[in-house]
Amino acid sequence: MRKKKEKSRKASSAPRRTNSIVIQSFDETPNRFKSKLDPINHLELRDNFLERGQIPQFQIRASHNQRARHIDIKFDLLPEAVAVLEKVCSMFGSGDVFLKKTFGDKITVDEATDKVKGYLYENNCNNQVKICWSKDLLCSGKMCWHGPCIQANRPEARTFNLLLQNSKENMFLSEHGIICLADHEIGTHYLRMYNDGLQPWFSQRQQFGIGRLRSKKLLETEEGLATINTMLKAKHQLLWKPALLYYTACKSLEMSFQQLYDHLGTYVRDSNYRWKLVMRVKRVLDNVNDVGGYGKDQCYFTGAVQLLRNIDETDFVLLYSGRISVEELPRIRRLARMNCIKLPTFLQDVGKYKQNLWNIAVVNNLVSKDKLPSKRAKLKKINISVNIPSAKKYSKSCQPSKKTVRTFCNRIAPQSSSIMSPIPYSPHKWMLSKRPRSCPNTFEKSKEKPQPLWKC
């Protein structure tokens, strides 16, 4: 009996394939999926802080140069972030109520897996992405890819893994939230990663004048685009979470770990979520009681505001050609291979997609209603009518047949001609250049034939 139980446990941990989609579950996230900025034993440190009040001392594998890469914190968009937070508090009372009403009730892991599988089939990604559930994942979701080195330039040999947090702390593990998370991870990160492998600059970005994959501009465009795509199908399209991340980074320069944790209680009641916010900012410090923090999480709100304030000037289809920033769009316009890329379903209608972005910008007070694009008046199609002299003036011998008159009318004013036609049709130009042989001639023919000049 013991042997049978051991076999059953091993089989449950092994990956299972359902309809060409591989699904795995981990109690502990593998090291290949972890970042060097992830603290070691963060679950134990969280329990000690919440239950005993013990201030944590984080240990991370990142070097000092990697810690200082995004140490600078900006205050440019602090008024916009505070306005979003105050609007959520005035409408819902707290961020916890906002999340519940925005993403719906909680669902099980099996129900969430079925919805993610349906999303993959809908976007034709079922044979390329693996779904991995992990209990100790720091974030709600994460997209990773592995394969040969970039210089090998073999995109077909790459494997993609969608990591999802399997715990009650995952705010997107809900009825509508799982689809919003799929728009973030699959509809944005995965498709841009996949399309980037098909472009000529994939293995030689510097030779084409394109920035590095870890550049700050690319990070803002990548996460900003994913942020606004997350709110496309949400019931309330307020950018509360990215605004809170931006606000937390700004307040870290004034407060210690404990002070910042207590201060965020005005916007969030959930103690676990507040711990995660403060941990993400203070994890790079040797002593968390010092002021300062990690400003990388500001890219979510910064990139979203940049895109929402330049909707008409941004080519979103070209932006999906690869992992590129907004500033690099003019450079790659003639280089990008657009006939082989994949686009998400919500970008099939670009006009409708931009209209949704305008709604998000107005709801978050990022654009005034006066600057919204006016609805263009639809022009009515007006058929061109041409008066043709009647055939009664001519004798029966010169009178054209009905078929000739019908073809003549269609050639002058075809049925499909209208003001909306992209190539305007000029009947006068045709009449001067060509005329059917059977067309009647109103001028009398001269009886004497003209003589050549050399006989005169």
Encoded amino acid at 199, one letter: Q
Tell me phi and psi for residue 361, to 5 degrees.
-65, -40
Among candidate residues 263, 252, 284, the one with its CA nearest the CA of residue 37: 284
21 forms bridges with which residues in the sheet? 18
For the chain, counts of helices (H) and of strands (E): 18, 5
pLDDT of residue 344: 97
- How far is Cα 309 from Cα 49, in angstroms, rounded to an integer? 41
- How far is Cα 63 from Cα 36, in angstroms, rounded to an integer? 9
Higher-confidence position of 296 and 382: 296
User: Sheet harboring 159-165: ordered strands across?
Assistant: 16-18, 21-26, 129-134, 159-165, 141-146
pLDDT above 90: percentage of residues in the chain: 63
Dump pLDDT digits (tens) for 149-166: 777 777 778 889 999 999
Query: 3-state DSSP call for residue 131?
Result: strand
Among candidate residues 173, 133, 112, 111, the one with its CA nearest the CA of residue 15: 133
Encoded amino acid at 73, one letter: I
26 forms bridges with which residues in the sheet? 134
Q: Which tokens go with 173?
A: 């593990």
Dump pLDDT digits (tens) for 223-258: 999 999 999 999 999 999 999 999 999 999 999 999
Dump pLDDT digits (tens) for 31-62: 889 988 999 888 899 999 999 999 999 999 88
- How far is Cα 56 from Cα 265, in angstroms, rounded to an integer? 19
Q: Do residues 346 and 353 lie in contact, with contact meaning Cβ atoms separated by under 8 Å?
A: yes
- How far is Cα 325 from Cα 317, in angstroms, rounded to an integer? 13
pTM, entire model: 0.78
- How far is Cα 129 from Cα 378, in angstroms, rounded to an integer? 43
pLDDT of residue 15: 63
Residues in the chain: 456
Tell me phi and psi for residue 134, to 5 degrees.
-135, 140
Q: Tell me 373's DSSP state.
A: P
pLDDT of residue 439: 45
Among candidate residues 187, 300, 327, the one with its CA nearest the CA of residue 243: 300
pLDDT of residue 448: 53
Dump pLDDT digits (tens) for 87-135: 999 999 999 999 999 999 999 999 999 999 999 999 998 888 999 999 9
- How far is Cα 298 from Cα 73, in angstroms, rounded to an integer? 8
How confident is the model over 389-398, as a mean pLDDT? 43
Encoded amino acid at 381, one letter: K
